[in-house]
Structure 1
């Protein structure tokens, strides 16, 4: 029944990877996504774990904090770009807006699709808008 399989693939939940070293922020983002609909959410609290997840099961959307203890956000995004990540990215940071915008420009220059750069904590309406953008940018998944 290919028709049903086609329909199911179109309805697959958006795969989201959340990267933040603060457990409270990770929990808050997960709760916000739960309020916004059906998502397949993975979390990582350090950059190396996130890079491993990107290799095994690349998400449609990655929401990442720029200030991580094991690798700064710019270095992390460089690795992500070098590994050919084709999904979308939302940057989060508690840093001043100038730093956030500079990181956004650098990531875009490396070929990443940056949907936004947001100050922490991100508002639910802002996250909702970014998730909707991620859905529009979503690439079809290859069937096995």
Structure 2
């Protein structure tokens, strides 16, 4: 599957960052992006979808649950294929979260530290095949 046809659910609780990241993805040919400001909005979007999202790009610190918890809920319900965490946490903390997620079998491709590095974001997005 082409990177450009990936269906992405983008979850970020800061409206400006959500908008900016959506524009960044659009500028790199990724137009199938659904934005959500919190986990509740994300779960509603996931449940409305007729097929799983190819990629969940998710902030770790959401107001209503952690990003890794959202990934777990979405994965358990079969609503996503892959996920990437976005966070301002220290890399050591994120490595611990990533290790736990992988031990629990979550489809986590990795994490990105804010402010985001565009090339690293695109590398992770490119590593998300359309099907598991």
Q: CA RMSD in A?
A: 2.2
**1:4 aligned residue:** none
Off by >6 Å, runs of 4+ in structure 1: 9-12
Write the distance in 2 (CA, Å) between the matches of 1:29 and 1:11: 16
**2:92 aligned residue:** 98
Q: TM-score, normalised by structure 1?
A: 0.79
The structure with more helix, counted as a fraction of residues: 1
**1:44 aligned residue:** 36
Greater gyration radius: 1
Matched, 1:113 2:113: no
Contact 1:81 1:110 in 2 (8 A): no
Cα deviation code 1:65-90 (max 9, x no counterpart): 00011112233233223213441111
Write the distance in 1 (CA, Å) between the matches of 2:104 and 2:61: 19
Contact 1:85 1:112 in 2 (8 A): no
* Unaligned segments of structure 1, at least 5 residues: 1-8
Write the distance in 2 (CA, Å) between the matches of 1:75 and 1:132: 24
Write the distance in 2 (CA, Å) between the matches of 1:70 and 1:77: 13
Contact 1:107 1:114 in 2 (8 A): yes
Deviation at 1:100, TM superposition (A): 1.1
* Unaligned segments of structure 2, at least 5 residues: none
Write the distance in 1 (CA, Å) between the matches of 2:118 and 2:4: 22
Cα deviation code 1:42-100 (max 9, x no counterpart): 01101011112222223111100000111122332332232134411111101111221
- Secondary structure of residue in 2 paired with 1:117: strand
Deviation at 1:34, TM superposition (A): 1.3
- Secondary structure of residue in 1 paired with 2:13: coil
**1:20 aligned residue:** 12
